[in-house]
Amino acid sequence: MSARDHGPGVRLPLPLLVGGVVLGGWMMRQILPVQISAPLPGLSAAVMGLGLALSIWTVVTMLRAGTDPRPDKPDQALVERGPFRFSRNPIYLGFLLVATGFALRWGDLWPWLSVAWCFLLLDRMVVAREEAYLRRRFGAAYEAYMQRVRRWV
């Protein structure tokens, strides 16, 4: 790793980004509710629990591999074990599952639009930047990993 390696250049804390978008969906629901389904609190809790567990598993896996899970830090290792065997972006998938849990809990259009907006923001503004960085950082090893493991699921 060179002294000039500043990571992928993602500066915004992503839990705040996703949380802010979900909060925006909740606020729109308060202002102009558009109920599209019955609230599903049981399913909501299960999906949110799965998302939280996936995010925690991902952070633990990254820390054990000696790399910082924050996207504003350089990666010390190409992590391919744990949840990274199934998704190249398991922590972001966990965030999306938590956001989906809120949408299921509320049954309103706005939280579902928030999930879609979160996905687009993460996919285009974060994942694309990280993938370009990881290609530069790990070269052929990352290219091979990309061939084996899907971006999301």
Q: Give which of 86, 82, 67, 81 is closest to 133, Cα–Cα.
A: 67
In a domain, 39, yes or no: yes
Q: What is the pLDDT of residue 72?
A: 85
Return the residue matching tokens 């070269």.
Answer: 139
Q: Which helix (H) or strand (E) holds 89?
A: none
* Torsion region of 22: left, alpha or beta (phi above 0 gives left; psi -120 to 50 gives alpha): alpha
**Overall pTM > 0.85:** yes
Using a pLDDT cut of 90, give the percent of the chain over it.
Answer: 87
In a domain, 4, yes or no: no
In a domain, 6, yes or no: no
> Quick check: 1 pLDDT over 70?
no
In a domain, 3, yes or no: no
Q: What is the pLDDT of residue 117?
A: 97
In a domain, 22, yes or no: yes
Q: What is the pLDDT of residue 5?
A: 63
Domain containing 112 equals 14-148
How far, in Å, CA of 92 to CA of 103, rounded?
17
In a domain, 44, yes or no: yes
Domains of the chain: total: 1
In a domain, 41, yes or no: yes
In a domain, 58, yes or no: yes
